[in-house]
């Protein structure tokens, strides 16, 4: 999808209640050490907090390895949460297990990146939807085939395609089947992990606009993971930028794209200059050098300091707190003032 795509008219009430509340989320993966060596830990997500308002789309962006997909998997309870809380409405889903988790599972569903790997090649498309309806015990059994047909129509597929196998569909059509399967449970929250990155550019826009229409029709809330800033700008109401397991900046879409404050956010924007026709000629463009540090050896101070062209000695010594510098705009950077002024 072109980064210059028009932003749809999707408005969320500013005082809409939070459906998803994540607080101080940690996901650490222990690695075995040697016989006498210390035990090592990969800090994939290391203290992440955010709210997602009901009916909105909350985006998380960052480089590969930033922790954004692990955050999504933790919310879905597909990886073990080390510490922190995840509330979906009044339910604390981060600690649920077994039957208790299964009872809540219908409320939150996921659309994965690869539609080719998300479907059983030996099952007909209609059976994939019916299996979801049966598993979640949605409606009366006799009514479920009609519901599967309805979901096909709602996601832009034809009823006669219910009898086809996944290999008989295009990539975009397979992702529509995956979306229909997710909606079968009538969820409140849909977690989307790079849902269009495996699709052709022309198909991406169709899929995104379908998701926006379904959001309006069904009151869905999306947690949207993507590395594509054009997609994020098209879809999201609020955006968080992650780096090495932490959120370094979070704001409403318009504020964040108009005036990114953190040097890392600016570097990401600089890598996509088509957001702004004048971006190529800006003197404040930031070009990143090197790779992020290893999550096995998180550096002292600001985690971005080793790659930041504006780093000062304090940046390598003190971990900057995430603080609000404008209404709804938070940033973790020593070089941004308390009133949001850039000091570099």
pLDDT in tens, 146-192: 999 999 999 999 999 999 999 999 999 999 999 999 999 999 999 99
Q: What letter would DSSP give residue 163?
A: G
- How far apart, in Å, do the first and last CA atoms of the chain sit? 33
Cα angle 19-322-52, degrees, rounded to a multiple of 5: 10
Token pair of 181, please? 């399967």
Q: What is the structure's pLDDT at 270?
A: 86
Separation of alpha carbons 95 and 91, rounded Å: 10
All structural domains of the chain: 18-243 (3.40.50.300), 261-331 (no CATH)
> H-helix or E-strand containing 31?
strand 18-31
Is residue 248 a contact partner of residue 50, using CB atoms and an 8 Å limit? no
The share of the chain scoring above pLDDT 90, in percent, equals 80
Q: Does pLDDT of 6 surpass 50?
A: no
Mapping DSSP to helix (H, G, I), strand (E, B) and coil, where does residue 324 land? Answer: strand
pLDDT band per the 50, 70, 90 thresholds, residue 281: very low
Taking the CA atoms of 267, 272, 275 and 277 in sequence, report the sign of the dihedral they define: positive
Spatial CB neighbours of 196, under 8 Å, sequence gap ≥ 6: 1, 175, 203, 204, 207, 208, 228, 231
Q: What is the structure's pLDDT at 277?
A: 47
pLDDT in tens, 81-134: 999 999 999 999 999 999 999 999 999 999 998 888 889 999 999 999 999 999
pTM above 0.85, yes or no: yes
């Amino acid at each position: 999808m072109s980064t210059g795509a028009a932003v749809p008219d999707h408005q969320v009430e500013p005082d809409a209640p939070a459906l998803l509340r994540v607080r101080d989320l940690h996901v650490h993966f222990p690695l075995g050490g040697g016989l006498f060596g210390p035990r090592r830990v990969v800090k994939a997500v290391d203290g992440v907090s955010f709210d997602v308002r009901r009916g909105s789309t909350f985006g998380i962006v960052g480089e590969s390895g930033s922790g954004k997909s692990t955050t999504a998997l933790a919310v879905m309870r597909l990886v073990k949460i080390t510490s922190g809380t995840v509330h979906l409405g009044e339910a604390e889903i981060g600690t649920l297990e077994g039957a208790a988790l299964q009872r809540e599972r219908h409320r939150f569903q996921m659309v994965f990146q690869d539609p080719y790997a998300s479907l059983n090649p030996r099952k007909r498309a209609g059976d994939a939807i019916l299996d979801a309806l049966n598993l979640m015990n949605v409606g009366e059994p006799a009514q479920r085939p009609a519901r599967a047909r309805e979901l096909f129509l709602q996601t832009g597929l034809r009823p006669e395609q219910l009898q086809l196998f996944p290999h008989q569909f295009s990539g975009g059509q397979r992702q529509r089947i995956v979306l229909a399967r997710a909606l079968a449970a009538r969820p409140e929250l849909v977690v989307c992990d790079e849902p269009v990155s495996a699709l052709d550019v022309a198909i991406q826009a169709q899929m995104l606009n379908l998701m926006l229409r379904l959001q309006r029709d069904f009151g869905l809330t999306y947690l949207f993971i993507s590395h594509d800033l054009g997609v994020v700008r098209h879809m999201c109401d609020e955006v968080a930028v992650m780096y090495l397991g932490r959120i370094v900046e979070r704001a409403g879409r318009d504020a964040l794209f108009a005036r990114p404050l953190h040097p890392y956010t600016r570097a990401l924007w600089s890598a996509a200059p088509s957001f702004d026709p004048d971006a190529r000629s800006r003197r404040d463009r930031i070009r990143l050098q090197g790779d992020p540090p290893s999550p096995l050896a998180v550096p002292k101070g600001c985690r971005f300091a080793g790659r930041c062209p504006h780093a000062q000695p304090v940046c390598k010594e003190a971990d900057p707190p995430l603080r609000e510098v404008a209404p709804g705009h938070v940033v973790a950077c020593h070089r941004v003032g308390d009133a949001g002024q850039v000091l570099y």
